[in-house]
Amino acid sequence: MNALAVIDYGAGNLRSVVRALTHVGANLLVTSDPAEVLAAPAVVLPGVGATLDTMQSLEHLGLVAAIGAAIRAGKPFLGICVGMQVLCEQSEEFGPHACLGVLGGSVRRLPGGQKVPQIGWNQLSLTNHAGDHPLFAGIPNHSNFYFVHSYYCDLTDGRNVAGTTEYGTTFASALLRGNLAAVQFHPEKSGRWGLQLLTNFIAWAGDDSLRTAAPTSNNVYSGVQHD
Protein backbone atom coordinates (compact mmCIF):
# COMPACT_ATOMS: atom_id res chain seq x y z
CA MET A 1 0.00 0.00 0.00
CA ASN A 2 1.48 3.35 -1.06
CA ALA A 3 -0.49 5.62 1.24
CA LEU A 4 0.07 7.12 4.66
CA ALA A 5 -2.03 5.20 7.20
CA VAL A 6 -4.03 7.40 9.57
CA ILE A 7 -5.32 5.13 12.31
CA ASP A 8 -9.05 5.37 12.98
CA TYR A 9 -10.03 4.11 16.42
CA GLY A 10 -12.74 6.72 17.03
CA ALA A 11 -10.53 9.67 18.00
CA GLY A 12 -12.38 12.97 18.01
CA ASN A 13 -9.69 14.83 16.07
CA LEU A 14 -9.51 12.33 13.22
CA ARG A 15 -11.34 14.49 10.68
CA SER A 16 -9.23 17.56 11.52
CA VAL A 17 -6.02 15.56 11.10
CA VAL A 18 -7.20 14.12 7.79
CA ARG A 19 -8.19 17.55 6.48
CA ALA A 20 -4.85 19.05 7.48
CA LEU A 21 -2.86 16.20 5.91
CA THR A 22 -4.95 16.43 2.75
CA HIS A 23 -4.32 20.17 2.70
CA VAL A 24 -0.56 19.63 2.64
CA GLY A 25 -0.87 17.13 -0.21
CA ALA A 26 -0.73 13.79 1.60
CA ASN A 27 -1.84 10.58 -0.09
CA LEU A 28 -3.52 8.88 2.86
CA LEU A 29 -5.73 6.02 3.90
CA VAL A 30 -7.90 6.22 7.02
CA THR A 31 -7.96 2.71 8.43
CA SER A 32 -8.81 0.52 11.41
CA ASP A 33 -7.31 -2.56 9.75
CA PRO A 34 -4.10 -3.86 11.37
CA ALA A 35 -2.96 -5.35 8.05
CA GLU A 36 -3.26 -1.98 6.30
CA VAL A 37 -1.31 -0.30 9.11
CA LEU A 38 1.47 -2.86 8.68
CA ALA A 39 1.46 -2.43 4.90
CA ALA A 40 1.68 1.37 4.97
CA PRO A 41 5.06 3.08 4.47
CA ALA A 42 4.28 5.58 7.28
CA VAL A 43 1.73 5.86 10.08
CA VAL A 44 -0.06 8.64 12.00
CA LEU A 45 -1.81 7.96 15.32
CA PRO A 46 -4.09 10.91 16.22
CA GLY A 47 -5.89 11.30 19.50
CA VAL A 48 -7.86 13.33 21.99
CA GLY A 49 -9.41 12.25 25.27
CA ALA A 50 -8.18 9.66 27.74
CA THR A 51 -5.40 7.11 27.40
CA LEU A 52 -7.61 4.42 28.98
CA ASP A 53 -10.32 4.82 26.34
CA THR A 54 -7.71 4.95 23.59
CA MET A 55 -6.00 1.76 24.74
CA GLN A 56 -9.31 -0.06 25.05
CA SER A 57 -10.25 0.96 21.50
CA LEU A 58 -6.86 -0.04 20.09
CA GLU A 59 -7.05 -3.40 21.84
CA HIS A 60 -10.61 -4.02 20.64
CA LEU A 61 -9.58 -3.35 17.04
CA GLY A 62 -6.45 -5.50 17.26
CA LEU A 63 -4.23 -2.50 16.59
CA VAL A 64 -1.87 -2.72 19.57
CA ALA A 65 0.37 -5.38 18.02
CA ALA A 66 0.21 -3.72 14.59
CA ILE A 67 1.36 -0.36 15.96
CA GLY A 68 4.26 -1.96 17.80
CA ALA A 69 5.26 -3.96 14.73
CA ALA A 70 5.09 -0.90 12.47
CA ILE A 71 7.38 1.04 14.79
CA ARG A 72 9.83 -1.86 15.15
CA ALA A 73 9.88 -2.23 11.36
CA GLY A 74 11.24 1.31 11.09
CA LYS A 75 8.20 2.94 9.50
CA PRO A 76 8.06 6.72 10.09
CA PHE A 77 5.45 7.14 12.83
CA LEU A 78 3.81 10.29 14.19
CA GLY A 79 1.78 10.28 17.40
CA ILE A 80 -0.41 13.30 18.12
CA CYS A 81 -1.61 14.31 21.63
CA VAL A 82 -3.03 11.10 23.16
CA GLY A 83 -1.29 9.36 20.27
CA MET A 84 1.93 10.48 21.95
CA GLN A 85 0.83 9.60 25.48
CA VAL A 86 -0.09 5.98 24.75
CA LEU A 87 3.48 5.35 23.57
CA CYS A 88 4.53 5.39 27.24
CA GLU A 89 4.62 2.32 29.45
CA GLN A 90 1.70 3.32 31.63
CA SER A 91 -0.76 6.07 32.52
CA GLU A 92 -2.24 7.21 35.81
CA GLU A 93 -5.35 8.67 34.16
CA PHE A 94 -8.47 7.01 35.63
CA GLY A 95 -6.20 4.73 37.65
CA PRO A 96 -2.93 3.05 36.66
CA HIS A 97 -3.09 1.10 33.41
CA ALA A 98 -0.70 -0.18 30.77
CA CYS A 99 -0.10 1.63 27.51
CA LEU A 100 1.84 0.58 24.41
CA GLY A 101 5.20 0.54 26.18
CA VAL A 102 7.18 1.85 23.24
CA LEU A 103 8.80 4.50 25.46
CA GLY A 104 9.85 4.32 29.07
CA GLY A 105 7.82 6.60 31.30
CA SER A 106 4.39 7.38 32.66
CA VAL A 107 1.52 9.67 31.70
CA ARG A 108 0.88 12.07 34.59
CA ARG A 109 -1.59 14.85 35.31
CA LEU A 110 -0.47 18.45 34.90
CA PRO A 111 0.19 19.95 38.34
CA GLY A 112 -2.11 22.38 40.10
CA GLY A 113 -1.54 26.12 40.05
CA GLN A 114 -2.64 26.44 36.43
CA LYS A 115 -6.03 25.85 34.86
CA VAL A 116 -6.30 22.21 33.80
CA PRO A 117 -6.82 21.22 31.05
CA GLN A 118 -4.41 23.43 29.20
CA ILE A 119 -6.37 24.77 26.23
CA GLY A 120 -4.76 27.23 23.86
CA TRP A 121 -1.46 28.40 22.44
CA ASN A 122 1.89 27.73 24.06
CA GLN A 123 5.52 27.75 23.02
CA LEU A 124 7.54 24.79 21.82
CA SER A 125 11.16 25.14 22.94
CA LEU A 126 13.30 22.88 20.79
CA THR A 127 16.13 20.97 22.47
CA ASN A 128 19.56 20.12 21.13
CA HIS A 129 18.15 16.69 20.29
CA ALA A 130 15.89 18.31 17.69
CA GLY A 131 19.02 19.69 16.04
CA ASP A 132 18.63 19.76 12.28
CA HIS A 133 15.99 17.04 12.25
CA PRO A 134 13.79 17.36 9.14
CA LEU A 135 10.58 17.22 11.21
CA PHE A 136 11.29 20.75 12.44
CA ALA A 137 12.74 22.19 9.23
CA GLY A 138 11.63 25.77 8.68
CA ILE A 139 9.95 26.02 12.11
CA PRO A 140 11.48 28.73 14.32
CA ASN A 141 12.35 27.81 17.88
CA HIS A 142 9.74 28.97 20.43
CA SER A 143 6.95 28.88 17.85
CA ASN A 144 3.41 28.66 19.22
CA PHE A 145 1.36 25.49 18.89
CA TYR A 146 -2.16 24.63 20.02
CA PHE A 147 -2.61 22.40 23.08
CA VAL A 148 -5.65 20.66 24.59
CA HIS A 149 -4.64 18.27 27.38
CA SER A 150 -4.68 17.51 31.09
CA TYR A 151 -1.88 14.90 31.10
CA TYR A 152 1.67 14.74 29.78
CA CYS A 153 4.45 12.20 29.21
CA ASP A 154 6.97 11.93 32.04
CA LEU A 155 9.73 10.15 30.11
CA THR A 156 12.48 8.14 31.78
CA ASP A 157 14.99 8.91 29.02
CA GLY A 158 15.31 12.63 28.45
CA ARG A 159 17.54 12.03 25.44
CA ASN A 160 14.41 11.42 23.35
CA VAL A 161 12.92 14.83 24.17
CA ALA A 162 13.00 17.12 21.12
CA GLY A 163 10.90 19.95 22.55
CA THR A 164 9.54 21.17 25.86
CA THR A 165 6.70 23.42 26.98
CA GLU A 166 6.01 25.22 30.27
CA TYR A 167 2.63 24.84 31.94
CA GLY A 168 2.88 24.44 35.70
CA THR A 169 5.90 22.27 34.96
CA THR A 170 8.30 21.73 32.10
CA PHE A 171 7.08 18.76 30.10
CA ALA A 172 8.08 16.96 26.92
CA SER A 173 5.90 18.32 24.12
CA ALA A 174 7.84 16.72 21.26
CA LEU A 175 9.99 13.61 21.05
CA LEU A 176 12.16 11.87 18.50
CA ARG A 177 13.63 8.38 18.60
CA GLY A 178 14.79 6.86 15.36
CA ASN A 179 11.75 6.50 13.10
CA LEU A 180 9.41 7.58 15.91
CA ALA A 181 8.10 11.12 16.37
CA ALA A 182 5.36 12.39 18.65
CA VAL A 183 3.93 15.72 19.76
CA GLN A 184 1.66 16.67 22.65
CA PHE A 185 0.18 19.61 20.75
CA HIS A 186 -2.22 19.47 17.80
CA PRO A 187 -0.41 20.34 14.55
CA GLU A 188 -3.74 20.12 12.72
CA LYS A 189 -4.98 23.09 14.78
CA SER A 190 -1.71 25.02 14.94
CA GLY A 191 -1.86 27.17 11.83
CA ARG A 192 1.23 27.76 9.74
CA TRP A 193 3.77 25.92 11.88
CA GLY A 194 1.53 22.94 12.50
CA LEU A 195 0.99 22.49 8.79
CA GLN A 196 4.72 22.89 8.25
CA LEU A 197 5.35 20.05 10.69
CA LEU A 198 2.90 17.78 8.84
CA THR A 199 4.52 18.72 5.53
CA ASN A 200 7.90 17.90 7.05
CA PHE A 201 6.67 14.53 8.31
CA ILE A 202 5.62 13.50 4.81
CA ALA A 203 8.98 14.61 3.42
CA TRP A 204 10.82 12.81 6.24
CA ALA A 205 8.98 9.59 5.38
CA GLY A 206 10.89 9.77 2.10
CA ASP A 207 8.29 8.05 -0.09
CA ASP A 208 7.09 10.07 -3.09
CA SER A 209 3.90 8.00 -3.20
CA LEU A 210 2.79 9.64 0.06
CA ARG A 211 2.17 12.93 -1.73
CA THR A 212 -0.67 13.47 -4.17
CA ALA A 213 0.05 17.12 -4.96
CA ALA A 214 2.11 20.10 -3.95
CA PRO A 215 0.86 21.49 -0.64
CA THR A 216 -1.39 24.52 -0.61
CA SER A 217 0.00 27.59 1.15
CA ASN A 218 0.27 26.85 4.85
CA ASN A 219 -0.78 30.40 5.66
CA VAL A 220 -4.39 29.95 4.56
CA TYR A 221 -6.37 27.03 5.88
CA SER A 222 -9.83 27.35 7.41
CA GLY A 223 -9.53 24.06 9.31
CA VAL A 224 -6.95 25.24 11.82
CA GLN A 225 -6.59 27.81 14.56
CA HIS A 226 -4.48 30.89 13.96
CA ASP A 227 -2.55 32.95 16.49
Residues identified as active-site: 81, 186, 188
Measured CA angle at 62 (ends 109, 212), to 5 deg: 90
Neighbours of 5 (CB within 10 A): 25
Residue 175 backbone zone (phi > 0: left; psi -120 to 50: alpha; other: beta): beta
Residue 17 near residue 80, CB atoms below 8 Å: yes
> CA 97, 98, 102, 103 torsion: positive or negative?
positive
Q: What is the DSSP letter of 130?
A: T
